[in-house]
Structure 1
Amino acid sequence: MTWQLRRAHEVDLVAIMHLETTIFENDAWSAPMMLRDLGDPACYYLVAFPPDSPGTIEAYAGLLAPQGATEGDIQTIAVADSARGHGLGRALMEALISEARKRGARLIFLEVRADNPGAQRLYARLGFLDVGVRRGYYQPDNVDAIVMRLNIPELESMLVAVEIP
């Protein structure tokens, strides 16, 4: 499966909130909270859709990283059940990490539900490390949040040297 990513806008709120309330039933953000982030220049939100169906939003993700700040925060990420297992979550995370780097961030933090091992594995594969626990963070389910941190690698350290004869 392939998707296209684009910057999210306020007109995407209905589609984003549909995913938000479907995926995060008990601890979904409110529409006013999401709308605030979509319009905040310190935030960077993306949506993903099939190339032949730009109106079908199958995932979204958001970053809070003010320009010039040394730290950023992954605010949220959600992938529809039908789109999971094909690398879309990873693609969204890599795009947010890249944007955080462009904005000057050197560290990114996120919280992940302790009962979501799939997301924890994804973040670990991307280089995030566990740095703490927030007890009962996700309400009303009273589920702990694992706090994770990524030291954003310098772009140069991500390049591979190739010898050309």
Structure 2
Amino acid sequence: MSAAIVAMTAADAGRCAELEAILFPGDGPWSAEAFHSELAHAYNHYFVARDESGTAIGYAGIALLGGGSDPESEVHTIGVDPVHQRRGLGSRLLDELLRVAETHGGPVFLEVRTDNESAIALYRREGFEILGTRRNYYQPSGADAYTMRRERRASEATGTVTKEQPA
């Protein structure tokens, strides 16, 4: 199955809200209005993954904050339809968010449920480290969250890829 990752539009908000209700039922899933609000801000960048029929099967969003000498980014959400999980789609969506963050500079932050082992493993593979725990972060479930950070990599800062030179 091949999925295209494209910029989210207002027309995607309803489908993304449907996926939120499936993925995060006890954690105050976002409504279509919440997605519309996120899309209205220029500092937010949202994407959807579409299957061959054009149906949104995943989504992700990031905010580019600060600027000048103190930029940072914050992953707001990533979700993949359960039918399409475990196929690398979450990784592809995260890669798209990190690509956007790299152009902005600075570290990238996110929160993730402490019991979401597959997401935590994905974030660790992409260089995120746990900074701490936020108790009762997700409501109304009361689930805890890890705050994670990924520092900007030197090659991202310079736009170059370093290669090992022969001795």
Q: Give TM-score, length-normalised by structure 2.
A: 0.88
Give the aligned CA root-mean-square deviation in angstroms: 1.9
Query: Equivalent residue of 1:74, what SS?
Result: strand
Determine the structure 1 residue equivalent to 2:63: 64
CA-CA distance at 1:139 after TM superposition: 1.4
Segments of structure 2 that go 5 or more residues without pairing to the other structure are: none
1:66-85 CA-to-partner distances (Å, cap 9, x unmatched) read 48361110000000111111
1:80–1:158 distance in 2 versus 1, CA, 3 Å? farther
Counterpart contact for 1:111–1:145, Cα < 8 Å: yes
Determine the structure 2 residue equivalent to 1:161: 163
Distance 2:122 2:60 in 1: 14
CA-CA distance at 1:32 after TM superposition: 2.3
Segments of structure 1 that go 5 or more residues without pairing to the other structure are: none
Counting only pairs closer than 5 Å after superposition, residues 10-49 of structure 1 correspond to structure 2 as 10-27=10-27, 28-49=29-50
**2:30 alignment partner AA:** W
Counterpart contact for 2:13–2:33, Cα < 8 Å: no
Query: Equivalent residue of 1:33, what SS?
Result: helix
Distance 1:9 1:62 in 2: 12
Query: Equivalent residue of 2:93, what SS?
Result: helix
Count of residue correspondences:
160
CA-CA distance at 1:11 after TM superposition: 1.0
Counterpart contact for 2:62–2:73, Cα < 8 Å: yes
Distance 2:160 2:34 in 1: 35
Determine the structure 2 residue equivalent to 1:95: 96
Distance 1:92 1:101 in 2: 14
Determine the structure 2 residue equivalent to 1:81: 82
Identical pairs, percent:
33
Counterpart contact for 1:131–1:149, Cα < 8 Å: yes
**1:43 alignment partner AA:** N
1:19–1:158 distance in 2 versus 1, CA, 3 Å? farther
Distance 1:26 1:88 in 2: 23
Counterpart contact for 2:59–2:78, Cα < 8 Å: yes
